[in-house]
């Protein structure tokens, strides 16, 4: 019985393992590029719907109020105009959501929805979707007359959507100019 031994090893060599890792990383990158934009689009659509619902809920919940004093992100939920987790959750797809009274003509005559850490592409889409629904939209603290050009500069942005409550019943009349 003559046995021949071979110096050849069984299993994967380092070059095959490295090639397998590179191939796996390439596939993960391809899948990310394929589904990444769809995730941003669906997040923008969901957040835009939440903003529209939140705007309506706040206006409805404060319809007979003199102003928006005491408004918080949970106010519409407590007053029965929205459900928790729909339009009033304290988080967006990108970070925290704020809801506060604001001032246009007199204290607390309007309200503001704040969003931070919005990626540039989502900022542009969200502003475009909400343009015309709000009294004013601010990108990084600057009011936008029309358009979303400020979203193009930088990686992330802070957005503020401001809604005027109009002249409220029981509010002090404005002084003549």
171 in a structural domain:
no
The token duo for 165 is 């409550």
Burial class (CB in 10 A: 0-12, 13-18, 19+), 144: middle
Find the domain containing 95 and state its range: 22-164
Task: Give me the helix-helix angle, 14-61 and 120-130, nearest 10°.
Answer: 30
97 in a structural domain:
yes
84 in a structural domain:
yes
10 in a structural domain:
no
122 in a structural domain:
yes
* Count of the separate structural domains present in the chain: 1
**The CATH number of the domain where 104 resides is what?**
3.30.1690.10
92 in a structural domain:
yes
Instruction: Give per-residue pLDDT as tens, 123-143.
Output: 988 998 998 899 999 999 888
4 in a structural domain:
no
Instruction: Give per-residue pLDDT as tens, 67-89.
Output: 888 887 666 665 555 555 444 45
Q: Are strands 136-139 and 142-143 parallel, antiparallel or unpaired?
A: antiparallel
- Residue 176: what pLDDT? 42
Tell if the pTM clears 0.85, that is, is over it.
Answer: no
Q: Between the CA of residue 121 and those of 37, 115, 117, 156, what are the distances in Å?
A: 9, 15, 12, 9
Q: In a 3-state reduction of DSSP, which class is residue 118?
A: strand
Asked if residues 99 and 111 have their Cβ atoms less than 8 Å apart, the reply is yes
Instruction: Give per-residue pLDDT as tens, 143-159.
Output: 887 666 788 888 889 99
40 in a structural domain:
yes
Asked if residues 58 and 163 have their Cβ atoms less than 8 Å apart, the reply is yes
């Amino acid at each position: 019985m003559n046995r021949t031994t071979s110096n050849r090893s069984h299993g994967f060599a380092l070059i095959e393992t490295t090639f397998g890792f590179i191939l796996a990383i390439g596939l993960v990158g391809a899948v990310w590029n394929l589904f990444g934009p769809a995730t941003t689009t669906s997040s923008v659509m969901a957040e835009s719907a939440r903003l529209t619902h939140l705007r309506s809920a706040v206006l409805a919940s404060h319809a007979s109020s003199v102003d928006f004093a005491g408004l918080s992100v949970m106010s519409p939920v407590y007053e029965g105009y929205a459900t928790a987790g729909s339009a009033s959750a304290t988080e967006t797809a990108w970070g925290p959501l704020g809801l506060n009274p604001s001032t246009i003509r007199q204290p607390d005559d309007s309200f503001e929805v704040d969003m931070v850490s919005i990626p540039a592409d989502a900022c542009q889409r969200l502003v475009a979707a909400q343009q015309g629904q709000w009294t004013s939209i601010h990108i990084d603290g600057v009011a936008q007359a029309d358009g979303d050009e400020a979203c193009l500069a930088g990686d992330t942005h802070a957005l503020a959507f401001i809604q005027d409550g109009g002249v409220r019943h029981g509010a002090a009349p404005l002084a003549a100019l």
